[in-house]
Amino acid sequence: MIGIAIGVAVLAIWCGLLAANGGFWLARERDTAPLPAPDPWPEVVAVVPARDEADVIAHAIGSLAAQDYPGPFRIVLVDDGSSDDTAERARSAGGARLTVCTGAPLAPGWTGKLWAVCQGVTAAGAPRYLWLTDADIVHAPDTLRSLVARAELNGLALVSLMAKLRCATLAERTLVPAFVFFFQMLYPFGRVNRPGRTAAAAGGCMLARRDALERAGGIAAIRDALIDDCALGAMLKRQGPIWLGLTNRSRSIRAYEDWGSIADMIARSAYAQLGYNPLALLGTLLGLALVYAAPPLLALFGHGLAQGLGLAAWLLMAISFQPMLHFYHRSPLWGAALPLIAAFYAGCTFLSALRHWQGRGGMWKGRVQAAAGR
């Protein structure tokens, strides 16, 4: 009877997720639709924070300098205390459009990235839009044109693209599609893009209205946010509509060569997502066990109705993963492996909490960034 009860519960959960969670799994919010050109094209300044990014910065800045944007466009790179030749490589790739600013020492109460972004926003002056992007993201030449056209057409305070992550090594091919899948489960893009409380953004590519950002209090209003993109999305949605979608135009070139590097990436912010709350951590781990582990365990080791219910839930789970697997050009058979992938993410979530308790939360480029005392 216990097996049947668990089977009914997990099947109901997966039916509810597929039918009533904003269609998160369909991966249909994309930047592929043609958009009318605004007249005139407004001024944009790209702001790029960079710290020890010599291996990727030339490609990222070069892609910005190559934008075919018809309006005024400049690039501001903030060199955030790099110990390598990040600034020099950026200058060689950026041309006349690029200004390199040397970042000031980290101010108390700020995360490193947001402190650098704040300085870049100040240096940008007063354009209509600020294009906040990362040092490891390369953009197709028409990316900015598409972002601005969408923002102008719909009067958006923020347009954000989920940059397509690198998917080359075995670890990346196994875990990266699920990263975006889980993000969409937490923040269904369809709900983000409609009026309501759901808000998010993807930090690799965010086009923000400068006046909306100023009305919201500027970058200082989220200065200690570890998940800064979603914090910015929530802040700007209170100023006007926002839009978030998948894209092939913007791509991350940061390599995660092994399982440990991906674990570090996940663990950097997973506990912050839970508000540094031990009870939320416990509930999340138990919930993941029920939603992802119970279906295959029932399907493989259950009997009768319990086994059938577990198999049905596992099948729905695998089906829900298919659009994201297709987007990343992965085999549909990876859908059956989602329980194992989820177990890896659960372990990284616990690792995130453990590092926070050890005083190493939010570690990035030698900085502990998670707020202390939470």
Same-domain status, 20 and 37 = no
Same-domain status, 7 and 42 = no
CB under 8 A, 24+ apart: contacts of 35-40: 35/146, 35/149, 35/150, 35/153, 36/149, 36/153, 37/70, 37/145, 37/149, 38/148, 38/149, 38/152, 38/153, 40/71
Residue 148 lies in a domain: yes
Same-domain status, 230 and 266 = no
Predicted confidence at residue 367, as pLDDT, reads 65
Same-domain status, 270 and 329 = yes
Same-domain status, 317 and 169 = no
Amino acid letter, residue 245: G
pLDDT tops 50 at residue 374 = no
What residue numbers bound the domain in which 320 lies? 2-24+261-357
pLDDT band at 1 (very low <50, low <70, confident <90, very high): confident
Domain boundary among 217, 239, 257: 257
Same-domain status, 161 and 230 = yes
Per-residue pLDDT reduced to its tens digit, 148-165: 999 999 999 999 999 999
Per-residue pLDDT reduced to its tens digit, 274-317: 999 999 999 999 999 999 999 999 999 999 999 999 999 999 99
Residue 369 lies in a domain: no
Domain boundary among 229, 257, 285: 257
Q: What is the DSSP letter of 30?
A: B
Same-domain status, 266 and 280 = yes
Amino acid letter, residue 120: G
Residue 184 lies in a domain: yes
Residue 371 lies in a domain: no
pLDDT band at 370 (very low <50, low <70, confident <90, very high): low
Residue 227 lies in a domain: yes
Per-residue pLDDT reduced to its tens digit, 2-24: 999 999 999 999 999 999 999 99
Contact 60, 136 (CB under 8 A): yes
Same-domain status, 301 and 172 = no
Residue 364 lies in a domain: no
Per-residue pLDDT reduced to its tens digit, 156-198: 999 999 999 999 999 999 999 999 999 999 999 999 999 999 9
pLDDT band at 371 (very low <50, low <70, confident <90, very high): low
Q: What is the DSSP letter of 226?
A: S
Distance between CA atoms of 57 and 174, rounded to whole angstroms? 26
Residue 164: left if φ>0, alpha if ψ -120 to 50, beta else—which one?
A: beta
Domain boundary among 204, 238, 257: 257
Question: pLDDT above 70 covers what percent of the chain?
Answer: 97
Residue 177 is part of a domain; what is its CATH number? Answer: 3.90.550.10
pLDDT tops 60 at residue 373 = no
The CA–CA distances, whole Å, from 257 to 83, 166, 234, 348 equal: 22, 10, 32, 17
Distance between CA atoms of 125 and 300, rounded to whole angstroms? 61
> 363-372 as b/e, with b when 16 or more CB fall inside 10 Å?
bbeeeebbbe
Same-domain status, 252 and 272 = no
Contact 29, 245 (CB under 8 A): yes
Same-domain status, 265 and 327 = yes
Question: pLDDT above 90 covers what percent of the chain?
Answer: 93
Same-domain status, 19 and 52 = no
Same-domain status, 144 and 194 = yes
Amino acid letter, residue 282: L
Residue listed under structure tokens 């209003």: 221
Per-residue pLDDT reduced to its tens digit, 120-152: 999 999 999 999 999 999 999 999 999 999 999
Please count the structural domains in the chain.
Answer: 2
Residue 237 lies in a domain: yes
pLDDT tops 70 at residue 363 = no
Residue 365 lies in a domain: no
Contact 150, 205 (CB under 8 A): no
